[in-house]
A and B are shown apart, each in its own frame.
Chain A
Amino acid sequence: MLRIPCPFCGPRDHSEFSYEGDASVTYPPLDAPEEAWFEAVFLREDRRGPTEELWHHLYGCRAHVIVERDTLTHEITGARLANPAIRAALSEGEE
């Protein structure tokens, strides 16, 4: 079992989460050229080693979390909320 440190819920089993994809992928504007959409939808870095992934805490707080994880060792070195506004609000709350 991987333990993912959810910024809201603390360390939780990965079976509460759903893996959603490479966090470095961003979707282009709707009117962007087809090439940009092709790349965003189909092409992946597929890194062997440290990477950033998007996980959905589906059976928890339902937040999307960006997890820093090594695909070779499964070591998790960090996690932050994917939504910048909620991330900012959460860090304000801590201060």
Chain B
Amino acid sequence: MQRYSALSVLWGGLTGQKNWRPVWGRPQPKPEYDVIIVGGGGHGLATAYYLAKVHKIRRVAVIEKGWLGGGNAGRNTTIVRSNYGIEGNTEFYEHSLKLWENLSHELNYNVMFSQRAHVNLVFSPGHRDMLARKYNIMRLNGIDGEYWDQDTLRRRIPHLDFAGRFPPLGAYVQPRAGTARHDAVNWGFARAATALGVDIIQGCEVTGFIREGGAIVGVEARQGEQEYSIRAEKVGLAVAGHTSVLAKKAGLGKLPLETHKLQAYVSEPIKPFLDCVLVYGGVGHFYISQSDKGGMVYGGHLDMYPSYAQKGNLPIYEDVAAACMAVLPALGRVKLLRQWAGVMDMSMDGSPFITKTDIPGLYLNAGWCYGGFKATPGSGYCFAHTIAQDRPHWANEKLTLTRYREGRLIDEEATGPTPKLH
């Protein structure tokens, strides 16, 4: 792998940028691998990378139907945080955040992780009590969290509206949280995995699974006109958004999932306006940050009905825009530049699963709801561990599929088995 450094950038600048080489190729699928990962999004690529790096399993293929990062990895609001309050989630997301903190060095690729703080506004004493409980739980678990009173909030986010009928009273803040460049994460993992010998096969759809005596021992795939039977000792699914479709093909049957769509929006670029991730939760649902290009990146609720279409609907945009005006009215005249939607595995308790399945040889990574981006390195790390060692890593021990049957739900929002509300 050609290493990147400040010097290599400078050298490239002086030599007409002729030093750049393609960092992953278009390999033909081999007839056999040790592990096949279905899904070339952030989670799948991270899994392949950690399989090769940590577990020294180098005969790995990532099979992607579309192109790298063309799914939800490229359709999110790039927020990274670990402000969770329930065991199972707390340790997993904190583990993931710690991986983020060193990711650019680990991958020798600038993922532009910016720990600019995640600011959760508080609008009533009850709201404050609820968040105080969560942020105290976080602190007891060694996760950073603090309270900003109204004066601090006025100083830190001057554009907030304090003149409204219910002004923010303060905010709970996770200073180590922030944003990252979503494409860079995919490209960084893909480049680093390729350097360790992983085959990344794009434009190749998994159409079925090879079975032997009840076990899954590979996949049937199609790339254009070409059909392949690719064998592997272990197959991992990392196809959030289409998990139910692939799970049915694999014979897993029904899962505790409903597939919904979530929209995100970006405005025209403006001058520096907001230097943190701002969240207006509880009463409304609105989150916003400013990209390095200046665009305001924001989103809100799901569209509230199941969908596999990557296209959003206008009523939710009206809600999101209204929520924006309630907290940042200065953005009222800023124009919307782009809007997109991604399809989400909404699980029955709002939390994911990274687990072995009842089918020997098949491993499942799914149920990310709309929090999958921040989980990218942690999910890959834990899924690789689960596949390689045949047992969960301590950080994903509780993210099982059997927890629903056992009544051990990890229901952060306390909204019960109603996927659209998580």
Residues of A participating in the B interface, judged by any CB pair closer than 8 Å:
1-2, 13-15, 18-19, 21-22, 38-39, 41-48, 51, 53, 71-74
Contact = CB atoms under 8 A, between A and B. Distances in A.
Contact of B258 (A13, A18, A46): A46
B110 interface: no
A46 B259 contact: yes
Nearest to B259: A46
Contacts of A39: 254
Contacts of A1: 313-315
B166 interface: no
26 contacts: A1-B314, A1-B315, A13-B315, A14-B315, A18-B304, A19-B305, A19-B420, A22-B258, A42-B348, A42-B404, A43-B254, A43-B255, A44-B244, A44-B254, A45-B244, A45-B254, A46-B254, A46-B255, A46-B257, A46-B259, A48-B242, A51-B306, A53-B305, A71-B307, A71-B308, A72-B308
Interface size class of B (residues with CB under 8 A): 20 to 34
Interface in B290-326: 304-309, 313-315
Contacts of A2: 305, 313
Contacts of A45: 244, 254
Contact of B309 (A19, A41, A43, A74): A74
Nearest to A55: B305
B261 to A, nearest CB: 10
Contacts of A15: 315
A11 to B, nearest CB: 16
Nearest to B244: A46
A70 B259 CA distance: 13
A15 B304 CA distance: 10
A42 B416 CA distance: 10
A19 B306 contact: yes
B256 interface: yes
Nearest to B243: A46
Interface string B107-144: 00000000000000000000000000000000000000
Nearest to A40: B417
A47 B306 CA distance: 9
A56 to B, nearest CB: 12
A55 B254 CA distance: 22
Interface of B, helix, strand, loop or mixed by DSSP: mixed
A20 B255 CA distance: 18
A38 B305 CA distance: 22
Interface string B252-274: 01111111000000000000000
Given A1-B315, A19-B304, A38-B405, A44 B309 contact: no
A44 B315 contact: no
A40 to B, nearest CB: 10
B245 interface: yes
Nearest to B318: A15
Nearest to A17: B305
A44 B308 contact: no
A71 B254 contact: no
Nearest to B315: A15
Contact of B257 (A14, A44, A53, A74): A44
Contacts of A53: 305-306
Contacts of A74: 307, 309
Nearest to B306: A71
Contact of B244 (A21, A41, A48, A73): A48
A48 B245 contact: yes
A42 B244 CA distance: 13
Given A19-B304, A72-B309, A38 B314 contact: no
B306 A38 contact: no
Given A1-B313, A41-B417, A42-B404, A48 B259 contact: yes
Nearest to A39: B254
B258 A44 contact: yes
A15 B313 CA distance: 10
Contacts of A18: 304
B188 to A, nearest CB: 31
Contacts of B257: 44, 46
A71 B245 CA distance: 12
Given A42-B404, A43-B256, A73 B309 contact: yes
A14 B308 CA distance: 17
